[in-house]
Amino acid sequence: MKGVILHGGHGTRLRPLTHTGPKQLIPIANKPVSQYALEDLRDSGIEDIAMVIGGILPEKVKQYYQNGQEFGVRITYVEQDRPIGIAHAVGLTESFVGDSPFVVYLGDNLLKGGISSFVKEFRKDDYDAMVLLCEVQEPQRFGVAEFSKDGKLMRLVEKPREPPSNYALTGIYFLTPAIFGAVRQLVPSWRGELEITEALQFLMEKGYSVGYRLVEGWWKDTGTVEDILEANRLVLDDSEPSIIGTVEDKECIQGRVSVAKDAVIKKGALIRGPALIGEGSKIEEGVYIGPYTSVGRNVTFKRGEIENSIIMDDCLVNINEKLVDSLVGPNTRIVTNMRGPKGRKLIVGESSKIVL
């Protein structure tokens, strides 16, 4: 069985972070979102994986994952020249897949508990395709399933104005090569994309067997800043504390906190978990890092407070304020003006959102 991770798109809802890299490389608890998908496939026994790349700086994906050896897999890269739908991206993997069944995993999705049990079921059952569904509060944001009275899957519809149910497609698809014939029959939808829901619907209408399973626990599509912060909270909630770096005073740590190697927590700082301090970071005296915060690698936090946020690698924070609900990109400097008239100096990228 093979795996396919979709790693393309422009991530417009996450700008300006996605001006400089793919959305799937944004870290959740100090790990790129797509790495969770890759590790889930690997831990399910799937080691031959294609990554469909395109959009913003796909070379960063190759730079991070390389041939996959470091992660215990073999990676083949497939180029998608423009983001015109999940079905289009799936169709590009036909030569990679060959005659094998395969799992398609959207690279910006997280699923608690993973897919291992579903992989076993798909290998055992005689399905031509199988989808994972999750009950959601806003089904109109997703592809949605419609069922018959006896619970049989009848129809899949993409982002309906009037959803036939509250069960959304999770972005994880168990497929056989039958899907490629369906993709070749598609025409672009009203969104200008080749929809995977329409390809699956085509299979059902042609008499192929399309099954479904309901996921237990949580599932997150990390398409917005709010989704990313919520995913960070969910992952940190399930994390185990680990102190490898230096903590100068045990009173600095409250609750479930992980401190990576070569990180230093100075006496007088306070880290209240769940929280994660990345490798090589330095948290100075007087700094407060509150619950649900992930601090990346080589971050220097000189002054200030922060809660429910993600600070990516190689940042400097030296402020007289408190940050909340923030997502800070790598190599960023956040400082308080110590000289001259008080005021806020902003250098802001396109399509940013600022709350002061």
Q: Encoding tokens for residue 9? A: 């798109």
Sorted by sequence, the CB contacts under 8 Å of residue 218 that are 6+ apart come out as 111, 112, 234
Distance CA 313, CA 260 (A): 13
* Burial environment of residue 100 by CB neighbours within 10 A (0 to 12, 13 to 18, 19 or more): middle
The Cα 114–Cα 76 span in angstroms is 22
Q: Which residues contact 128 (CB under 8 A, 6 or more apart)?
A: 175, 176, 178, 179, 203, 208, 209, 210
Contact 187, 84 (CB under 8 A): no
- Segment (H or E) for 225: helix 225-237
Tens place of pLDDT per residue across the chain (356 aa): 999 999 876 666 666 665 666 788 889 999 999 999 999 999 999 999 999 998 778 888 999 999 999 999 999 999 988 878 899 999 999 999 999 999 999 988 888 888 998 999 898 888 999 999 988 888 888 888 888 888 888 888 888 888 888 898 888 999 999 999 999 988 888 777 888 989 999 998 899 998 999 888 788 877 788 888 999 999 999 889 999 999 999 999 999 999 999 999 999 999 999 999 999 999 999 999 999 999 999 999 999 999 999 998 989 999 888 989 888 888 888 888 666 556 555 555 445 555 65
Which residues, other chains included, contact 88 with Cβ-Cβ below 8 Å and sequence gap of 6+? 80, 183, 193, 194
| DSSP assignment letter at 25 | G
pTM of the model: 0.88
Q: Report how far residue 213's alpha carbon sits from residue 81's, in angstroms, rounded to the nearest whole number.
A: 33
- 241 secondary structure, DSSP code: P
Contact 36, 28 (CB under 8 A): yes
Domains, the chain, with CATH or none = 2-227 (3.90.550.10), 239-335 (2.160.10.10)
